[in-house]
């Protein structure tokens, strides 16, 4: 693809594909140029440096989210839908959380989403600083969960559910050390054994923890609104 036929949109979309396949460390202007059949210098000319490209890519993927009709569905279903939508977005683009927590990656895509989040919690009845915190709290939880489930630690935990013969030797040793430490703490040890007896793998546990967290946060927000109404 010749340089003159390139545009920013094409480069950003190609960067997203490369990020999804290889992560942030696998993205370079040279690789991107090879993917698009152009020189790395053309990438710099259109999008600036790698940091700016990451910001552009992060903002672009926010447009994938279909926003709820808040007046039609109500604040709680809308909030739940937004939380699950962000989780899905982070699952599809494992690099996203790292970008939005490292750079000031704010643009039209994220602003569109944030506006809907503010509409949601404004409709619930939150005002002023409470509105800011009501918007922030659910999504700190979601991005935190996304970070944990998208990290190398998550991969180790997933492989810990395999039979020992299927695990690399170092991971078997690491898991044995973890279990040895946990054995000193009765509640922690009992929890690990109970999870093993239930036959839950790491993925299933994450799904259940996420669902529990979503409903607990929404319950807490609803209770806060109710308490304030009772005090009036």
Q: Which residue has the higher pLDDT, 61 or 101?
A: 61
The residue whose two tokens read 């552009």 is 56
Sign of CA dihedral 158, 163, 165, 170: positive
Tens of pLDDT, residue by residue over 132-171, are 999 999 999 999 999 887 654 545 555 555 555 555 677 7
Domain positions in the chain are 1-48, 67-230
Tens of pLDDT, residue by residue over 50-91, are 999 999 999 999 999 999 999 999 999 999 999 999 999 999
* Residue 121 and residue 73 in contact, taking contact as beta carbons nearer than 8 Å: no
Q: In whole angstroms, what is the distance from residue 157 CA to residue 189 CA?
A: 16
Q: In whole angstroms, what is the distance from residue 105 CA to residue 109 CA?
A: 10
* Residue 55 and residue 15 in contact, taking contact as beta carbons nearer than 8 Å: no
Q: Give the length of the chain.
A: 232
Q: Where are the alpha helices (DSSP H) in the chain?
A: 8-22, 29-36, 40-47, 50-61, 70-73, 75-92, 96-102, 108-124, 128-149, 152-160, 169-182, 186-198, 202-231
* Residue 90 and residue 100 in contact, taking contact as beta carbons nearer than 8 Å: no
Please state which of the ranges 68-77, 123-132, 195-204 shows the lowest mean pLDDT. Answer: 195-204
Question: What is the pLDDT, as a whole number, of residue 232?
Answer: 46
Q: In whole angstroms, what is the distance from residue 143 CA to residue 52 CA?
A: 21
Q: Is 83 exposed, middle or buried (0-12, 13-18, 19+ CB in 10 A)?
A: buried
Q: Which CATH architecture has domain 67-230?
A: Orthogonal Bundle (1.10)
Q: What is the CATH number of domain 1-48?
A: 1.10.10.60
* Residue 89 and residue 96 in contact, taking contact as beta carbons nearer than 8 Å: yes
Q: In whole angstroms, what is the distance from residue 130 CA to residue 62 CA?
A: 25
């Amino acid at each position: 693809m010749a340089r003159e036929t390139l545009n920013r949109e094409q480069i950003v979309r190609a960067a997203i594909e490369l990020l999804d396949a290889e992560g942030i460390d696998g993205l370079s202007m040279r690789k991107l140029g090879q993917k698009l059949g152009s020189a790395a210098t053309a990438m710099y000319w259109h999008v600036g440096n790698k940091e700016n490209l990451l910001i552009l890519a992060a903002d672009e993927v926010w447009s994938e989210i279909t926003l709820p009709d808040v007046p039609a569905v109500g604040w709680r279903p809308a909030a739940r839908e937004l939380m699950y939508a962000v989780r899905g977005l982070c699952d599809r683009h494992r690099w996203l959380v790292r970008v939005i927590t490292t750079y000031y990656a704010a643009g039209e895509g994220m602003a569109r989403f944030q506006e809907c989040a503010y509409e949601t919690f404004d409709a619930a009845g939150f005002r002023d600083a409470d509105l800011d915190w009501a918007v922030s709290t659910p999504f700190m939880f979601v991005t935190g969960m996304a970070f944990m489930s998208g990290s190398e630690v998550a991969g180790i935990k997933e492989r810990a559910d395999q039979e020992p013969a299927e695990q690399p030797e170092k991971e078997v040793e690491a898991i044995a050390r973890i279990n040895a430490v946990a054995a000193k703490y009765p509640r922690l040890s009992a929890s690990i054994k109970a999870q093993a007896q239930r036959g839950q793998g790491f993925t299933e546990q994450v799904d259940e923890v996420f669902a529990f967290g979503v409903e607990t946060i929404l319950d807490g927000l609803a209770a806060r609104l109710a308490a304030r109404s009772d005090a009036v």
